[in-house]
Amino acid sequence: MEETLKSFGITAQQSGVSTGKHWLAGGGPVITSSSPVDGKVIAAVKSASKEDYDAVVATAQEAFKIWRQWPAPRRGEVVRQIGEALRKHKHDLGRLVSYEMGKSLQEGFGEVQEMIDICDFAVGLSRQLHGLTMHSERPGHRMYEQWHPLGITGIISAFNFPVAVWSWNSMLAWICGNVCIWKPSEKTPVTALACQRIVEAVFAANDVPEGVCCLLTGGRDAGEWLAADHRVPLLSATGSTRMGKAVSAAVGARLGRSILELGGNNAIIISEHADLDMSLIGAVFGAVGTAGQRCTSTRRLIIHEKVYDQFIARLVKAYGQLRIGNPLDENNHVGPLIDRDAVLAYQQSIEAVRKQGGTFLVEGGVLEGPEYSSGCYVKPCIAAVENIYDIVQHETFAPILYVMKYQTLTEAIHMQNDVPQGLSSAIMTLNLREAEQFLAAAGSDCGIANVNIGTSGAEIGGAFGGEKETGGGRESGSDAWKAYMRRQTNTINYSTKLPLAQGIKFDL
């Protein structure tokens, strides 16, 4: 890994605050990043002080004055080059993601691929920031709308997708003409340093002004500075519902804008008409992929009573075949949890499941032995539960899968919706009526609803996000870009009169 760090110019003692050109001293507390893979320290990163923060914001404000005037396709060309650079660094960055975060190497590469994909998407979009034209009710008038850059976009990202979620936000924000200040998770600052280096090189080669791409390593304080700061018109935050509520309240108090992408409690309904082979892969990958630490991870399976026993038998067998261990070894399916706190939360949830009446069909537990010396490796487990249990209503960021039975699809949809979160959902069925019922207005209440696909692994082309306690924000594809711009309605009078709207007469 040392070589990988060196290739990104990352040292063992490193500042984590950058304006895109200069690295500030980093006067805040030192954040030590250690790998959940083997418990070793990767780097000690100096975080931002309030003075660093103010310096970064001041630089970003100046940069915005210039960057907003670059034509959007020219900004897109810079993002195209970032995509090229990411292609070159895919292997190294993917490995670093895997090592610092603990997801499997395949998924580390997949994460970098998402970044490349959003770059490509943003390049095309840079020529398609379309507004509408309207017909004015007045003669000799033209009405249309334009989308203008907004200003500083703050990005708070989570440890589980330490680089991809930043890229969804920043690539769109940049082509939209905004400047970005990124506060990465304090659990994964090193991958953020690597991304910053990659972007800095591309920006330098294109004479992009200093301050368009800022990195602000820090803890909760740094997030609070961004949330309270009226100089930051938009704050996009990914993380827990608790964090999102605090961000939303602080940004809302100053009538700023936020994009929130918070917790999920995602279910797959497995119908009696499902292809069970397909359902098995979807369910297992959804539940154990990234060790259950995606916001889209499958937390609940709602299974038709006619196929319940058969499917559970296959599921239990599949869990028996899972290989848990070093995620950099491609033979392993499941890596570690992010840290020991996460292990504790996993253990507490298992305890709560038992207390509330759940029965384990596959037992969990913390793995021990030299290969698991970081103390972060746990066994994916399965519990038969009732949807209404308090613990089932919560998102535990760990590979704990809840299973439950249903009789009618209406009942299954009710269970699927009957949780506080509303991110991702899926139905496995070959029956057209069932699929359409699931997707209809009275069907899934989630931001993402899939048929014959699991809950995780969304493509970047669609808008990503969810309802209720998931926060309501949308990032990534479709027209999510609109949240990063301000809309302006323009009415132009090219007649020789000044007729008033609504037929009002006002003669002097």
Would you tell me which residues interact with ligand UN1 (CB under 6 A)?
114, 160-161, 165, 238, 294-296, 456-458
Instruction: List strand residue ranges (DSSP E) for 262-380, in order.
Output: 266-270, 298-304, 359-362
Q: Which residues fall within 8 angstroms of residue 186, CB to CB, at 6 or more apart?
A: 31, 47, 217, 218, 219
d(CA 376, CA 368): 9
Q: How many angstroms separate the first and last alpha carbons of the chain?
A: 79
Q: Which of 309, 304, 310, 308 is nearest to 409 (CA)?
A: 304
C-alpha distances in angstroms, 401 versus 302, 363, 380, 383, 398? 11, 11, 8, 6, 9
**CA–CA separation, 266 vs 192, rounded Å?**
28
The C-alpha atoms of residue 102 and residue 418 are separated, in whole angstroms, by 32
Residues 6+ apart with CB under 8 A from 440: none
Q: Strand 424-428 relative to strand 448-451: parallel, antiparallel, unpaired?
A: parallel
Counted residue by residue, the chain has a size of 508
Considering the complex, state which of residue 60 and residue 458 has its C-beta at the smaller distance from ligand UN1.
458
The strand ranges marked E within 65-151 are 133-134, 141-149
Give the residue at shortest CB distance from ligand UN1.
458
Sign of the C-alpha dihedral computed for residues 280, 282, 284 and 285 taken in this order = positive
Q: Tell me whether residue 261 is one of the annotated catalytic residues.
A: yes
Q: Which amino acid is at 288?
A: V
Cβ at position 493, least distance to ligand UN1 in Å = 48
Q: Which of 107, 200, 210, 261 is catalytic?
A: 261
* Smallest distance, ligand UN1 to C-beta of residue 339, A: 17
- DSSP, collapsed to helix, strand or coil, labels residue 273 as coil
Least gap, CB of 108 to ligand UN1 (angstroms): 13
Q: Which CB atom, from 163 or from 199, has the smaller least distance to ligand UN1?
A: 163
Quote the tokens at residue 245: 């509520």
The span from the CA of 356 to the CA of 360, in Å, is: 12
* Residues annotated as part of the active site: 261
